[in-house]
Amino acid sequence: MAEKVLEVAQAAVSARGVARLAISGGSTPKRSFELLADPEQGFVKQMPWDKIDLFWVDERCVPPDDKDSNYRMTREALLSKVPLPQERVFRIEGELDPEDAAARYESAIRNRFRLEGAELPTFDLVALGMGPDGHTASLFPHTEGLHELGRVAIANHVPQKETWRVTLTAPVINQGRQVVFLIGGEDKAEVLSQVLSSKYDPETWPSQLVQPKNGSLLLLLDRAAAALLPKTDESGEGHLEIQR
């Protein structure tokens, strides 16, 4: 994943002078962030930090210092260690009322991308995870947010978790140039197999909503997560790239 972030960032900066990345939280991407921040891996020197705008795909409705905050995980694993200018970090304010946080986040994105009217942003990279229930971003099964078509960011009530989340919407995810699922661990094997093989039913499997309009979709899987899939290579782990 760290390699993909570097590749996308460099290509976007060459093409447009800026790389706009939207990242996920949870536990899976933490290792990739640590690799990006590790001077011995070489990414710190190669990443065009001063030309990266960093956004989040979603956030839990907690303050930025809370142990569940996606921002906090990223700050600890990555942002505290790399020279990404603070003014280029666009966190979701999970400490606010969820509707206010979503409106402020949408407005920040609209301003930064200089969007007009109903235009949606095109992120260079949308890095997603997949929960064991098939959710991605904070688009959970049988929640209203699955149906949003017009807005960039929404507050999504998640009754099964008795909580609210703030999330980018499916149309924004699908507008991405490179959309990547990073999925690891044996607890993801069953859901991954269901998402890929079940008939289209995003109410049950929200991850099925992810179908980039013009961009590429890449699945980065470890061996445990890929265990129930037809083998994609001899090692049983690796890439499954769908070019569109």
Ligand X SMILES: O=C1O[C@H](COP(=O)(O)O)[C@@H](O)[C@H](O)[C@H]1O
Q: Please give the residue ranges that form the binding site for ligand X (CB under 6 A).
A: 24-28, 57-58, 70, 128-129, 131, 138
CB of 14 to ligand X, least distance (A): 28
Of 24 and 169, nearer to ligand X (C-beta) is: 24
CB of 129 to ligand X, least distance (A): 3
CB burial of 147-159 (b: ≥16 within 10 Å; e: otherwise) equals ebeebbbbbbebe
How many other C-beta atoms can be found within 10 angstroms of the C-beta atom of residue 83?
Answer: 9
d(CA 172, CA 226): 27
Query: Sign (positive/negative) of CA torsion 127, 132, 138, 139?
Result: positive
Of 48 and 157, nearer to ligand X (C-beta) is: 157
Of 129 and 202, nearer to ligand X (C-beta) is: 129
End-to-end CA distance of the chain: 20
CB of 65 to ligand X, least distance (A): 16
Neighbour-count burial of 19, counting CB atoms closer than 10 A to its CB (0-12 exposed, 13-18 middle, 19+ buried): buried
Of 27 and 198, nearer to ligand X (C-beta) is: 27
CB of 27 to ligand X, least distance (A): 4
